[in-house]
Chains A and B, each alone.
Chain A
Amino acid sequence: MYLQTTTLSETISGLLGLDGVIGDVVGGLVGAFLVANIMLIMTAFAGPWAKRKITAAFGDRIAVNRIGPFGLLTIVTDAVRLLSKELIVPEGVDRPAWDIAPMVIPFSALLGFAVIPMGNGIQLADPETGLAFAFAVASIASLGIVMTGYASNNKFSLIGALRAVAANIAYEIPLVITAASVVIFTGSLRMSEIVAVQAEPLVSVAGITIPTWFAFVNPFAFALFMVANLAEIGRNPFDIPEAPTEIVAGYQTEYSSAYFVLIYLGEFIHIFLGGALAATLFLGGPAGPFLPGFVWFVIKIWAFFLFTQWARSAVPRLRVDQFLDIGWKGMLVLSFANLVLTAIIVGVIA
């Protein structure tokens, strides 16, 4: 059972021997620091190194291999390179919106990790509305994107931002509705409970017990969730907001140096958050045999990352109108059908 009794911040304040308000504050801050750094380290691997290696593997190339073992020190050189570049502020940008946006985007995604159970007692907070919180904060990124698009004083940025908002509205609803079908099973929005329910055995085949991961219970919902998730994080076939060959780089066209890094960071953390939500809702969270829970959690979100890069390498991009058609006429209908069917089935069985 992975049902959390204590959260990470409580564990920390307990270890430090603090209690009361001071304990909450110190535990929360140190815990948040740890969790954020875990995610940032993973992003550091994903962005400059893993992404290159993965896309290279799909395209029969080798990619970075000069600096360090397997080219791993590229991460360091890339960090130095990106941060030492000049921050170009174009004429006529709308400050401070233009400056705030690159901070909004990564931090909204980081906030989502506060409620994700990562196994081995790493969960920052476990509110009753955990799932709703994760979706809510992840959506703040859209606000950041609108700010980038509007403030950049660039037409490509504006088109990109409008596309991003259109995409978000069209795909956020199916995403949340599909997640709601999981809530019907669990009867709770609390993340730890969603994970706990999935630990129960579904069937036993030849001595191997298959747990009730909702990906097994309702594969249709899982597929829907993955598709909507791809749209949510803007990867092929849904990379409409960036669409490099059409609108240059979309909403991030005018950003350079540290701001560019922040926006990119936001994108990768978003991918990981998407992976974390998929893992928590459908793949039993940190559950898995032999290895510690946290390792399984990392494996699952990296698998999701791999999936997004695979899609990016192999699947063509949809046109913006086709993309919205699929969202409103396909995904929305299917996700509601899924919700109603799940409700009926659960109602009949229970």
Chain B
Amino acid sequence: MSLEEQQPDDDPAELEAAVSRGDELAELLGDLVIGREEHMNAPGLVVRPDEVQEALFKLRDEAGFDHLSCLTAQEYEDRYESIYHLTSFDDRTDEVSVVVPTSKDNPVSQSAEPVYRTADWHEREAYDLVGIQYEGHPDLRRILLPETWQGHPLGLDYDQERPQIATLREHANPLEKDQRAEQGNTMYVNIGPHHPATHGVLHVETVVDGEQVVDLNPDIGYLHRCEEQMCQQGTYRHQIMPYPDRWDYISAGLLNEWAYARAAEDLADIDVPEYAQIIRTLGAELCRIASHMIALGTFALDVYGDFTAIFMYAMRDREIVQNILEDLTGQRMMFNYFRLGGVVWDLPEPREEFFEKIRDFLDGLPEALEEYHDMITSNEILQARTVGTGVLPPEVAKSYGATGPVARGSGIDYDLRRDDSYGYYDELDWDVVVEDGCDNFSRLLVRMREVEESAKIIQQCVDLLEDWPEDERNIQSNVPRTLKPDEDTEIYRAVEGAKGELGIYIRADGTDKPARFKIRSPCFSNLQTLPEMSEGEYIPDMIASLGSLDIVLGEVDR
């Protein structure tokens, strides 16, 4: 892990730039830096566990790192380690990793929550799964696992065979809280985990005063499936790729697969042929349209009530996209279409028919969107319901690490497809959609306009693919059968998923399986903003805000 041992296979110029940026930042922090590391994506600065806040405040205020993208916690043979992956909303390629080692016998580290509010949940997760304690954290409880869980599953000495025994008495408690003593004349309502509008198994512990939300606490983890652990037990080359489809399973599969593909390809220095990149871009944007259609439909469902026409219209149009994706990948939900170094197979034959199908869809799309605008955005009741409700100011959104349509609906001009370009996006002509209303309506509008932008991208991809010479259709580069990236190479890479920044951190240990596989889920960070948006508002607005966040519990809980 030290600088001497590490020989990352990266572009030398880029590496040099990273090193010099590292020097610059190390100079800024001065004595706070007790060591240096080199991650493939960013310089790493090692900081003492009791000086975390000081270092992060400096980096945030003086070096412009206003985005705590992710927090990775892991256990080594001799220490625990928390890595704060910092970057900036204005310049996504400017990254730094703040590495905080803590000793084995006393794994206590200072909390970053006062600096970045998003650290609240991220540190709870680190505590829950790895076992690092964060001093000064406002509410260090388990987040994904039940309160009664014994041990920390991603720790090295965790015994997976040991049964977890939790008595009913211990479980019965959370649903029967009596709030009268502490909250006065209020009522405690459990919204979820079984509720028509929570979009899955989300449990929102709500305290209401009449109909107004006084206090609200999203309780997650009902859909935790140990995705990180499963990925750590799979081989890079073949066994990990099916898992991303199961994170954001609302038809955003290819976008998720790209997150893993990007991280692993950079880690193992694999090139992707241009032709495959175009196919990937095409598929990913189709997924984005399908995902945004669902977001639109379910948001309408939340605001309209059941049995609405607009939900069915959105499903109808999404169905066309699903059929195209089925033609492309052979699957409707769990695509498993990307491979390291490309995609699994070429476009379906006959190609003309496939292109025709996409073109038909794109031709019909403006009309469909017009219909949505007629029924949703220009409806006065809907405007009365959504304009000015669920307000998320840009500074708050940044502090919570909100990304994707949620950030762009708060006027933050941040899109990884442009700011940290990958695939074929930088060759194409499209725009990042930003609305600065900061409310539920803006988030809705962002999604609707992003569908148009995605259509533009797809159009260009189809044109390119159609004219691609037949003998240059290389869908996959040569990738070794077994991938064994060098020991102690670490990388954090993100892509723009349907819901926001979907990042993957991988640490290699010289074997064909990752030593640590960390998923940065955009929904996880976005959902954190819900209390900020809803407190003081009415229950219906809280439901609308939740809908406008467009969370998928599969991705929140992983």
- A58 contacts the other chain (CB 8 A): yes
B444 CB to nearest chain A CB (Å): 12
Contacts of B189 in A (CB 8 A): 155-156, 159
Given A155-B189, A245-B197, A245-B302: A312 and B307 within 8 A (CB)?
A: yes
| Residue from A155, A244, A313 within 8 A of B196 (CB atoms) | A244
B490 CB to nearest chain A CB (Å): 43
| Residue from B197, B316, B381 within 8 A of A316 (CB atoms) | B381
Give 1 or 0 for each of A313-324: 1 = CB within 8 Å of chain B CB: 111111111100
- A267 contacts the other chain (CB 8 A): no
- B301 contacts the other chain (CB 8 A): yes
A101–B379 alpha-carbon span in the complex (Å): 37
Could you tell me if A246 and B543 are in contact, using CB atoms closer than 8 angstroms?
yes
Could you tell me if B540 and A313 are in contact, using CB atoms closer than 8 angstroms?
no
| Residue from A61, A248, A317, A322 within 8 A of B305 (CB atoms) | A317
Give 1 or 0 for each of A19-62: 1 = CB within 8 Å of chain B CB: 00000000000000000000000000000000000010011110
Stretch of A5-13, A170-178, A235-243, A342-350 that contacts chain B: A235-243
Q: Quick one: closest B residue to A242, CB to CB?
A: B305
Could you tell me if B382 and A245 are in contact, using CB atoms closer than 8 angstroms?
no
- B425 contacts the other chain (CB 8 A): no
Given A246-B539, A248-B196: A320 and B211 within 8 A (CB)?
A: yes
Given A155-B187, A245-B197, A319-B538: A59 and B311 within 8 A (CB)?
A: yes
Task: List A147-177 residues whose CB lies under 8 Å from chain B.
Answer: 155-156, 159
Could you tell me if B308 and A318 are in contact, using CB atoms closer than 8 angstroms?
no
- B357 contacts the other chain (CB 8 A): no
Q: Quick one: closest A residue to B389, CB to CB?
A: A319
A110–B312 alpha-carbon span in the complex (Å): 34
A328–B187 alpha-carbon span in the complex (Å): 27
Given A60-B312, A316-B381: A246 and B540 within 8 A (CB)?
A: yes
Number of interface residues of A (CB under 8 A): 29
Q: Quick one: closest B residue to A55, CB to CB?
A: B307
Contacts of A239 in B (CB 8 A): 305
Give 1 or 0 for each of B162-205: 1 = CB within 8 Å of chain A CB: 00000000000000000000000001010000011100000000
- B147 contacts the other chain (CB 8 A): no
Give 1 or 0 for each of B306-329: 1 = CB within 8 Å of chain A CB: 111101110010000000000000
A49 CB to nearest chain B CB (Å): 15
A56–B501 alpha-carbon span in the complex (Å): 37
- A75 contacts the other chain (CB 8 A): no
- B375 contacts the other chain (CB 8 A): yes
- A247 contacts the other chain (CB 8 A): yes
| Residue from A245, A313, A318 within 8 A of B309 (CB atoms) | A313
Give 1 or 0 for each of B359-384: 1 = CB within 8 Å of chain A CB: 00000000000000001000101101
Interface size class of B (residues with CB under 8 A): 20 to 34
- B66 contacts the other chain (CB 8 A): no
Q: Quick one: closest A residue to B194, CB to CB?
A: A248
A24–B540 alpha-carbon span in the complex (Å): 52
Could you tell me if B307 and A246 are in contact, using CB atoms closer than 8 angstroms?
no
- B143 contacts the other chain (CB 8 A): no
Given A55-B307, A155-B189, A159-B211: A318 and B384 within 8 A (CB)?
A: yes
Q: Quick one: closest A residue to B302, CB to CB?
A: A245
| Residue from A159, A313, A321 within 8 A of B307 (CB atoms) | A313
Could you tell me if B309 and A316 are in contact, using CB atoms closer than 8 angstroms?
no
Could you tell me if B301 and A316 are in contact, using CB atoms closer than 8 angstroms?
no
Could you tell me if A318 and B385 are in contact, using CB atoms closer than 8 angstroms?
yes
Could you tell me if A60 and B308 are in contact, using CB atoms closer than 8 angstroms?
no
Given A237-B381, A319-B540: A314 and B375 within 8 A (CB)?
A: yes
Could you tell me if B308 and A59 are in contact, using CB atoms closer than 8 angstroms?
yes
Q: Quick one: closest A residue to B539, CB to CB?
A: A246
A23–B196 alpha-carbon span in the complex (Å): 53
A237–B303 alpha-carbon span in the complex (Å): 10
Could you tell me if B385 and A244 are in contact, using CB atoms closer than 8 angstroms?
no
Could you tell me if B305 and A312 are in contact, using CB atoms closer than 8 angstroms?
yes
Could you tell me if A58 and B381 are in contact, using CB atoms closer than 8 angstroms?
no
Contacts of A59 in B (CB 8 A): 307-309, 311-313
- B304 contacts the other chain (CB 8 A): yes
Most A CB atoms within 10 A — which of B308, B312, B379, B543? B308
Could you tell me if B305 and A245 are in contact, using CB atoms closer than 8 angstroms?
yes
- B450 contacts the other chain (CB 8 A): no
Could you tell me if A60 and B316 are in contact, using CB atoms closer than 8 angstroms?
yes
- B123 contacts the other chain (CB 8 A): no
A314–B379 alpha-carbon span in the complex (Å): 10
Q: Quick one: closest B residue to A56, CB to CB?
A: B312
- B541 contacts the other chain (CB 8 A): yes
Cβ contacts A to B, 9 pairs, < 8 Å: A58-B312, A155-B187, A246-B197, A246-B540, A313-B308, A315-B379, A315-B381, A316-B385, A319-B385
- Interface residues, chain B, with chain A CB atoms under 8 Å away: 187, 189, 195-197, 211, 300-309, 311-313, 316, 375, 379, 381-382, 384-385, 538-541, 543
Return the 6 tightest CB-CB contacts between A and B, nearest first: A59-B312, A245-B197, A58-B309, A55-B307, A316-B381, A316-B382
Known: A246-B540, A318-B384. 15 other contacts (CB 8 A): A60-B309, A60-B313, A159-B211, A244-B305, A244-B306, A246-B197, A246-B543, A316-B300, A317-B303, A317-B304, A317-B385, A317-B540, A318-B381, A320-B540, A321-B538
